[in-house]
């Protein structure tokens, strides 16, 4: 009797164990909400009644607060005494979700100005124009990163912008959220099963790791399902270069437009 009881318990445990695990994983996926696939069309930054609106960037000085500063003053920006840099949408109109918008070749002009112009229009920052690109391999950390993705649930918007790279003065600074971890040559879980993702700048499919090596929180904000209006915000530590240990504060506003992950043949 004892032997039969033990066999029954072990059999039940074997059957229930994987089922419970699968349920947990399914809940985690469901918790993200509904995926948005298409274009996050950016609203240009502006100043209205003394308030900075639209899409903009601030650089928090070392030891400062993301919400209170002090902020680095960009002599090339008239917004908020130079403490905010206004951004305008690039040739694509904004961020392609589910696809890359890689930096062009060459990525810089002879004077160091960024030539990346798909996501945002190159904008002057201390005399040199900077812009944004999303690459399958982050140029600074040399880590495979996923394309931008966004999910909405109950009006709350969450996004993986780990591939968000700032190109400025012949340098690339990762300003993503979550943050990629510098590559050690080891593969993150899932990287053995890379998927093909369309690059809207290069006009070809590139390999993307569905589970890249990242750390920290993603970008968060709000989404109105009726109007498509969205707001996304995040902060990201600057590593290396003349602004080492400063923090980038990013604020994006605009309208979501549904579209395919790749152009139709």
Task: Please check whether residue 2 lies inside any domain of the structure.
Answer: no
Rounded Cα gap, residues 209 and 162, in angstroms: 12
Task: Please check whether residue 167 lies inside any domain of the structure.
Answer: yes
C-beta of residue 84 within 8 angstroms of C-beta of residue 56: yes
Task: Please check whether residue 6 lies inside any domain of the structure.
Answer: no
Task: Enter the DSSP assignment of 227.
Answer: T
Task: Please check whether residue 20 lies inside any domain of the structure.
Answer: no
User: Three-class SS of residue 158?
Assistant: strand
Rounded Cα gap, residues 85 and 129, in angstroms: 12
pLDDT tens digits, one per residue of 192-223: 455 788 888 888 888 775 554 667 789 999 99
Rounded Cα gap, residues 158 and 91, in angstroms: 24
Q: How many domains does the chain have?
A: 1
Q: Tokens for 208, please give them.
A: 């993307």
pLDDT score of 264: 66
Task: Please check whether residue 4 lies inside any domain of the structure.
Answer: no
Task: Please check whether residue 208 lies inside any domain of the structure.
Answer: yes
Q: Tokens for 232, please give them.
A: 């996304």
C-beta of residue 240 within 8 angstroms of C-beta of residue 173: yes
Residue 59: which domain range?
A: 39-258
Burial (CB count within 10 angstroms: exposed 0-12, middle 13-18, buried 19+), residue 23? exposed
DSSP string, 170-198: TEEEE--SSEEPPP-SPPPTTGGG-EEEE
Report in angstroms the alpha-carbon separations of 37 from 97, 98, 110, 147, 248: 5, 6, 36, 11, 26
H or E element at residue 22: helix 2-31
The tens-digit pLDDT sequence of the chain (265 residues) is 444 433 443 333 333 343 333 333 222 345 889 999 999 999 999 999 999 999 999 999 999 999 999 999 999 999 999 999 999 999 999 999 999 999 999 999 999 999 999 999 999 999 999 999 999 999 999 999 999 999 999 999 999 999 999 999 999 999 999 999 876 554 444 444 557 888 888 888 887 755 546 677 899 999 999 999 999 999 999 999 999 999 999 999 999 999 998 886 4
pLDDT score of 137: 95
pLDDT score of 22: 32
Q: Tokens for 68, please give them.
A: 């209170």
Task: Please check whether residue 32 lies inside any domain of the structure.
Answer: no
Task: Please check whether residue 24 lies inside any domain of the structure.
Answer: no
C-beta of residue 80 within 8 angstroms of C-beta of residue 144: no
Strands 247-258 and 56-65: antiparallel
């Amino acid at each position: 009797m004892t032997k039969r009881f033990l066999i029954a318990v072990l059999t039940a445990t074997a059957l229930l164990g994987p089922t419970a695990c699968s349920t947990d994983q399914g809940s985690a996926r469901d918790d993200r909400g509904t995926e948005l696939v298409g274009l996050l069309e950016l609203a240009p930054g502006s100043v209205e009644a003394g308030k900075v609106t639209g899409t903009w960037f601030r650089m928090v000085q070392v030891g400062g607060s993301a919400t209170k500063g002090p902020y680095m003053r960009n002599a090339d920006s008239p917004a908020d005494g130079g403490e905010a840099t206004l951004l305008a949408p690039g040739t694509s109109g904004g961020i392609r979700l589910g696809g890359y918008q890689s930096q062009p070749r060459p990525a810089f002009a002879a004077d160091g100005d960024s030539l990346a112009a798909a996501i945002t229009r190159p904008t002057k920052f201390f005399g040199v124009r900077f812009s944004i690109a999303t690459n399958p391999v982050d140029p600074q950390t040399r880590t495979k990163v996923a394309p931008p993705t966004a999910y909405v649930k109950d009006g709350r918007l969450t996004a993986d912008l780990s591939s968000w790279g700032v190109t400025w003065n012949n340098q690339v600074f990762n300003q993503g959220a979550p943050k990629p971890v510098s590559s050690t040559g080891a593969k993150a879980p899932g990287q053995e099963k890379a998927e093909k993702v369309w690059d809207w700048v290069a006009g070809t499919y590139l390999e993307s790791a569905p589970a890249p090596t990242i750390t920290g929180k993603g970008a968060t904000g709000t989404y109105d399902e009726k109007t498509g209006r969205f707001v996304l915000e995040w902060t990201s530590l600057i590593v290396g270069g003349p602004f080492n240990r400063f923090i980038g504060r990013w604020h994006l506003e605009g309208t979501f437009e549904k579209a395919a992950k790749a152009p139709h043949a």
